[in-house]
């Protein structure tokens, strides 16, 4: 079977049992998405590359720890999440960096009308997320910018699905209030 | 960034190809899961066993009966209640709940539900154990002069040679005026009645009684007492019987 036609779990089984080289397929599938995710926490390119490399190496080393009946995406995001947290704690800095395209927020309730300067809004959203408590920031980033479902966020952050809903609702409220306080958005 | 991504892929794959980065053995993960699962099961069963021991102890001793003396029986109750076992039960349950929380599947459920299910299992298993002969067998083990016996004794409230300060239970050997000689679980003990409001006719040698008062040196000044019915404090009866 062509590797590009295989599911993540099939690739993992192949890597574990027969073909280590096929791990390259996993890297190709996830490097852009994980770069995108880690970019939220790590601004420096060289630091981001180092962390991303560690994520893939840890994923490879622990492939037998992955349950093939469950989602691989959430599993590798979990590793990336842990590494991002380790990086933040190691360097004791919390900052959030968004791409310009990400400024179309997934949730309409906290979107900002187009008559504002997008770069200013982006800077404010980054600042608001950076100032937010970690427990609200993490699910919000995964939901708004990574487009993860509640179940996937539950798997990545290891919190109950119902708690994800609560944290997201609270996080969105905090973000909206903070944007309003700084003159962005409408009530 | 495309070039960087290719660099990352080539660097990771180079590490894998050279053998510097290896797959951790599947047996290592299996061993981890087995050890983790065993720890949870052991913790839950140990907590159930301790719960059963507490239940058995309370049922088979006089500890709760001290409240028939009202507030005056509080000190005797506190002195005889197995707080050590309760603390061990709480710690074991807490640690097991934390382990369960870290388990691969349980994080999806709220912690309250996990703790509730765990307590339901512990209490249910504890009650079932209490209904079997297991506790009687353990009580027999606690009387043996070996390591296991010594380890089990605290769970059965056995403090060899240590006289209690506020409560007493045992069989009357002899009554001589204001003084009683009794066989207690701790040994033969001399009691003296003080401030006692009357004495009932059933206080005779051979009667099994429990009382409250205060220790005074080697003696015990008893203020109130009651004759214990046959179906109460059976563990204390067995111990007193052994002391003879």
Helix/strand/coil (H, E, C) string of A18-86? Answer: CCHHHHHHHHHHHHHHHHHHHCCCCCCHHHHHHHHHHHHHHHHHCHHHCCCCCCHHHHHHHHHHHHHHH
Q: Do B29 and A24 touch (CB under 8 A)?
A: no
Q: Where are the domains of chain A?
A: 7-93, 98-187
Contacts A–B by Cβ distance under 8 A: 68
Which class for A101: exposed (0-12), middle (13-18), buried (19 or more C-beta within 10 A)? exposed
Domains and CATH numbers, chain B: 27-156 (no CATH), 167-243 (2.40.50.140)
What pLDDT is recorded for position B161? 57
How long a stretch of residues is chain A?
A: 187
**Given this structure, which CATH class describes domain A7-93?**
mainly alpha
Phi, psi of A176 (to 5 degrees): -60, -45
Determine the residue among B12, B28, B30 to mutate to test chain A binding: the one whose Cβ has the most chain A Cβ atoms within 10 Å. B12
**What is the band of B37 on the pLDDT scale with cuts at 50, 70, 90?**
very high
**What is the band of B158 on the pLDDT scale with cuts at 50, 70, 90?**
low
Lowest mean pLDDT among B56-70, B132-146, B187-201: B187-201
Which of A9, A25, A5 has the alpha carbon at shortest distance from A17?
A9
Q: Do A35 and B1 touch (CB under 8 A)?
A: yes
Within 8 A by CB and 6+ apart from B148, the residues are: B141
Q: What is the DSSP letter of B82?
A: -
What pLDDT is recorded for position B155? 80
CB of B114 closer than 8 Å to CB of B97: yes
What pLDDT is recorded for position B60? 85
Structure tokens at B31: 């061993």
Gap between the Cα atoms of B190 and B184, Å rounded: 10
Is the sign of the CA dihedral B124, B130, B133, B139 positive or negative?
A: positive
Q: Could you say which residues of chain A have pLDDT below 50?
A: none
What pLDDT is recorded for position A99? 61
What pLDDT is recorded for position A25? 94
Is the sign of the CA dihedral B163, B167, B171, B175 positive or negative?
A: positive
Residue with tokens 């995710």: A37
Per residue in B160-179, pLDDT (tens digit) is 556 788 888 888 888 888 88
Partner residues linked to B193 by β-bridges: B222
Higher pLDDT, B12 or A108: B12
Q: How far is CA A9 from CA A6, A12, B108, in A?
A: 8, 5, 21
What pLDDT is recorded for position A105? 56
For residue B116, give how far its alpha carbon lies from the nearest alpha carbon of chain A (Å). 15
> What chain B residue is nearest to A46 in terms of C-alpha separation?
B4
3-state helix, strand, coil in chain B (%, to 5): 60, 15, 25
pLDDT at B91 over 90: yes
Taking all residues of chain B, what is their mean pLDDT, rounded to a whole number? 85
Angle at the Cα of B6 from the Cα atoms of B3 and B11, rounded to 5 degrees: 125
Q: Which ipTM value was assigned to this complex?
A: 0.77
What pLDDT is recorded for position A108? 57
**A64 — contact with chain B (CB < 8 Å)?**
yes
Gap between the Cα atoms of A71 and A86, Å rounded: 23
**A18 — contact with chain B (CB < 8 Å)?**
no
Lowest mean pLDDT among A76-80, B189-193, B197-201, B239-243: B197-201
What pLDDT is recorded for position A62? 96
What pLDDT is recorded for position B50? 93
Per residue in A12-30, pLDDT (tens digit) is 999 999 899 999 999 999 9
**Which of A:100-159 have CB within 8 Å of B?**
154, 158-159
Give the nearest partner residue to A161 out of B21, B22, B108, using CB atoms. B108
What pLDDT is recorded for position A187? 59
Fold type of domain A98-187: Arc Repressor Mutant, subunit A (1.10.10)
Statement: the pTM of the whole predicted model exceeds 0.90: no
What pLDDT is recorded for position B183? 86
């Amino acid at each position: 079977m062509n590797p590009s036609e295989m599911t993540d779990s099939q690739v993992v089984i192949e890597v574990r049992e027969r073909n280590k080289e096929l791990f390259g397929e996993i890297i190709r599938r996830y490097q852009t998405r994980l770069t995108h995710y880690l970019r939220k926490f790590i601004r420096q390119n060289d630091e981001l590359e180092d962390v991303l490399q560690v994520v893939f190496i840890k994923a490879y080393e622990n492939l037998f720890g992955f349950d093939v009946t469950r989602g691989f995406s959430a599993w590798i995001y979990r590793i990336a999440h842990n590494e991002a947290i380790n990086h933040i704690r190691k360097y004791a800095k919390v900052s959030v960096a968004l791409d310009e395209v990400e400024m179309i927020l997934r949730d309409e309730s906290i979107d900002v009308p187009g008559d504002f300067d997008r770069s200013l809004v982006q800077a404010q959203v980054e600042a608001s997320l950076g100032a937010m408590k970690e427990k609200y920031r993490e699910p919000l980033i995964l939901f708004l910018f990574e487009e993860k479902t509640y179940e996937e966020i539950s798997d990545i952050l290891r919190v109950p699905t119902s708690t994800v809903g609560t944290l997201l609702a609270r996080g969105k409220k905090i973000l909206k209030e903070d944007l309003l306080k700084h003159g962005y958005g409408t009530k | 960034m495309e070039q960087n991504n290719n660099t990352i892929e080539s660097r990771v794959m180079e590490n894998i190809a050279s053998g510097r980065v290896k797959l951790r053995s599947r047996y290592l993960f299996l061993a981890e899961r087995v050890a983790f699962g065993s720890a949870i099961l052991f913790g839950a069963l140990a907590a159930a066993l301790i719960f059963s021991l507490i239940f058995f102890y309370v049922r088979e001793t006089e500890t709760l009966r001290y409240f028939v003396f009202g507030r005056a029986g509080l000190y005797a109750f506190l002195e005889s209640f197995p707080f050590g076992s309760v603390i061990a039960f709480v710690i074991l349950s807490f640690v097991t709940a934390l382990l369960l929380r870290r388990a691969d599947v349980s994080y999806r459920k709220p912690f309250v539900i996990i703790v509730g299910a765990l307590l339901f299992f512990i209490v249910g298993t504890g009650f079932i154990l209490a209904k079997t002969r297991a506790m009687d067998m353990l009580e027999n083990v606690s009387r043996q002069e070996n390591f296991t016996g010594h380890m089990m004794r605290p769970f059965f409230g056995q403090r060899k040679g240590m006289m209690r300060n506020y409560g007493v239970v045992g069989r009357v050997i002899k009554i001589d005026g204001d003084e009683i000689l009794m066989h207690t679980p701790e040994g033969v003990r001399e009691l003296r009645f003080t401030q006692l409001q009357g004495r009932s006719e059933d206080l005779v040698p051979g009667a099994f009684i429990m009382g409250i008062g205060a220790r005074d040196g080697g003696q015990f000044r008893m203020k109130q007492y009651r004759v214990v019915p046959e179906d109460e404090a059976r563990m204390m009866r067995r111990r007193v019987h052994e002391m003879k």
